[in-house]
Amino acid sequence: MNGSRSATLTVAWRLATFRSEGFPTIPLAILGLLLFVAVFANVLAPHDPEVGRLGERFHPPFWQQGGSETYLLGTDHLGRDVLSRLLFGARVSIVVGFTAVIVAGIIGTALGILSGYLGGWVDQVIMRFTDTWLALPALTFAIFLAAVVGPSEMNIVIILVVVYWTRYARVIRGEVLSLKERDFVRLAIVAGCSKWTIMKRHILPNVLNSAIVLGTLMLGVVVVTEAALSFLGVGVPPPKPAWGLMLADGKKGLMAGYWWLTVLPGCCIMLMVLSANLLGDWLRVKLDPQLRQL
Amino acid sequence: MKRYIVKRVGYALVSLVLLSITIFLFVRLTGDPAVLLVEPGASQADLDAIHQQFGLDRPLWVQYGRFASSLLRGDLGHSFYYRTPVLELYLSRLPSSLLLAAAAMTFSLVIGIPTGIIAAVRVNRWWDSAGKIFALLGLSLPSFWVGLLLILFFSVYLGWLPSSGSGTAAHLVMPAFALGWYFAAAHMRLTRSSMLDVLGSEYVKLARLKGLPEALVIGKHAFKNALIPVLTLAGINLVIMVNVAVVVETVFAWPGVGRLLYEGIAFRDFPVVQATVILGGAMIVIVNLLVDILYALIDPRIRLDR
């Protein structure tokens, strides 16, 4: 009994100290909730998100006059249930956002390590490309790529990876350049490790923190870019429910005062991006105090 | 100094060449470029004509030679929709974009610099925390959503401002706010950290030791020096604003280059889309070059260092 009680106390104490260090409870809870919603969207959604009833168009949310309990958050211009579309929209944002961030992170980190550690012409080639691609305005570049490859959910992920891997490569290369001069790497060289082993066993684990921090912060950027692309009509193709697409649809009813079609999807985007940014800021301080100026 | 400038110009030229190669390859390697270069609904004969005209059956490097030489001559293709050279079209829209960017920049600096300074002077007080929250919101809210919310409140509910179009100062208010919002947060963050750097420096300590009133130390000695990086960033951001304004310009039907890009997507007008990304990238490369050179002129440490 005593043991379990002290264990509980320890856990409670830990939670308390976490809080005092600014542990991002709320952002994590929101991201967790979004993840949950994304996984179980088909169970949670009360209606089909892609099929509406034209007779039930522009119902306001239930608390407003004319709203009903059948459509808790109202309906859009095709009579589709907004709540169901928001729930399924979380799935799109989570899948696109996480996949793009992770794949771009792997590619960018790998190229950043190669570039920084090998130096010479490899570094020149990779960095000249990185600099050039960084100079391309991200959104314009993404729109151009979308115009070339055409819209689909898969293509959006590819586009976001192509546009954003450079951010990782730049930062990771800088880290590797300073790691390279550290004693443990020199010792590994003296001990006869191959370049490959050094990069994999000694450099990679040391840049992983930065990559994770950067990835968390990129999640917000990627989600906003995806929403912007969908909003402009080159992202997730309709009728699939994506938050950016819902905003584009909502714009049609904006002047008529159908506020819920604009406010609600935007709130979802904001919550996700804000949570990712708060989590990223916390991780940055927590994992890597030297990286505060990222 | 000369060597430094030559080296920087060389880097910029390499970047421009890589940029053109990137765009060229993306169009060629992801499918038949003729489909993009021909108007929607064109016949097989038209496709063949395009193949002939652009030499799409020739080796890639020959094709690139043609592409690069037409770029150098300022020929970015013809718009399918407007039936005019794309470059002309772009230049005719640029003044509107610059006007919007200038307004957004003014707004972002007027908000960003004072709040940043106050946050730095009152570091870790409630004002600083409020500033942090403001910066976080600025960086997290998508500009097009801010734009839509502004329309909802100021056009639909209050009826104070026109929801779209251009021509009067009233048309400029909401797009400038929506576009400048993000940058205000970025400028605030930079002003704060730059100001903190300067406040910790020797000459500020000396000014304080001399017994100068705090207002004079901050207003005269610290402020001017803290402003240098902020204004540099603002210069680069002005160009970036022109290029990220596409969503805001779409929301407010503002007739700038962003709107042109949107029309390019909507009308499947590929030459317009391609030209916008090339010109946008080129503008940023050139501005970066200018900033590098300017910095070297101001600060001898940079040019001697490399």
DSSP state at residue A124: H
Model confidence at B43, in pLDDT bands (50, 70, 90)? confident
Of the candidates B235, B245, B230, B249, the residue with the CA atom closest to the CA atom of residue B284: B235
Q: Which helix (H) or strand (E) element contains residue B50? A: helix B44-54
How large is the average pLDDT for residues A87-102?
Answer: 92
How large is the average pLDDT for residues B271-279?
Answer: 88
In the prediction, which pLDDT does A14 show?
56
Chain B residues 104-163 within an 8 A CB cutoff of chain A: 136-137, 139-142, 144-145, 148-149, 151-152, 155-157, 163
With a cut of 80, say whether residue B278 has pLDDT above it. yes
Q: Evaluate whether A141 touches A187 at the Cβ level (below 8 Å).
A: no
- Residue B111's contacts (CB-CB under 8 Å, 6 or more residues apart) are B180, B184, B187, B188
How large is the average pLDDT for residues B85-102?
Answer: 90
Express each pLDDT in B225-269 by its tens digit: 888 888 888 888 888 888 888 889 988 888 889 889 888 888 878
Beta bridge partners of A81: A75
DSSP conformation letters of B114-163: HHHHHHHHTTTSHHHHHHHHHHHHHHHS-HHHHHHHHIIIIIIIS--S-S
In the prediction, which pLDDT does A289 show?
56
Chain B residues 246-285 within an 8 A CB cutoff of chain A: 246-247, 250-251, 261-262, 264-266, 270, 273-274, 276-277, 280-281, 284-285
DSSP state at residue A289: G
Name the residue with higher pLDDT: B177 or A73.
B177
Phi and psi at B149, nearest 5°, equal -65, -40
Express each pLDDT in A172-231 by its tens digit: 998 898 888 888 888 988 998 888 888 988 899 888 888 988 898 899 999 999 999 999
For residue A122, the distance in angstroms to the closest alpha carbon of chain B comes to: 16
Residues in chain B: 306
Beta bridge partners of A75: A81
DSSP state at residue A55: G
What does the mean pLDDT of chain A come to? 84
> In chain B, which residue's Cα lies nearest the Cα of A150?
B30
With a cut of 80, say whether residue A42 has pLDDT above it. yes
Which pTM value belongs to this model?
0.84
Q: Evaluate whether B103 touches B183 at the Cβ level (below 8 Å).
A: no
Return the residue matching tokens 């992770």: A102
Distance CA B256, CA B279 (A): 14
Distance CA A9, CA A3 (A): 10
Question: Does the beta-carbon distance from B277 to A227 stay under 8 Å?
Answer: no
Express each pLDDT in B169-191 by its tens digit: 778 888 998 899 889 988 888 88
In the prediction, which pLDDT does A13 show?
57
What does the mean pLDDT of chain B come to? 83
In the prediction, which pLDDT does A100 show?
95
Checking ipTM against 0.85, whether it exceeds it is no
Express each pLDDT in B288-302 by its tens digit: 888 888 877 777 666
Question: Within chain A, where are the H helices?
Answer: 2-20, 25-39, 41-44, 82-118, 120-135, 138-149, 153-179, 183-190, 195-197, 204-232, 243-252, 260-287
In the prediction, which pLDDT does A10 show?
60
In the prediction, which pLDDT does A283 show?
84
Tally of CB atoms within 10 A around B237: 23
Model confidence at B306, in pLDDT bands (50, 70, 90)? very low
* Minimal Cβ distance to A231: which of B139, B141, B144: B144
Question: Does the beta-carbon distance from B15 to A128 stay under 8 Å?
Answer: yes
Model confidence at A294, in pLDDT bands (50, 70, 90)? very low
Question: Does the beta-carbon distance from B36 to A148 stay under 8 Å?
Answer: yes
Q: Evaluate whether A169 touches A126 at the Cβ level (below 8 Å).
A: yes
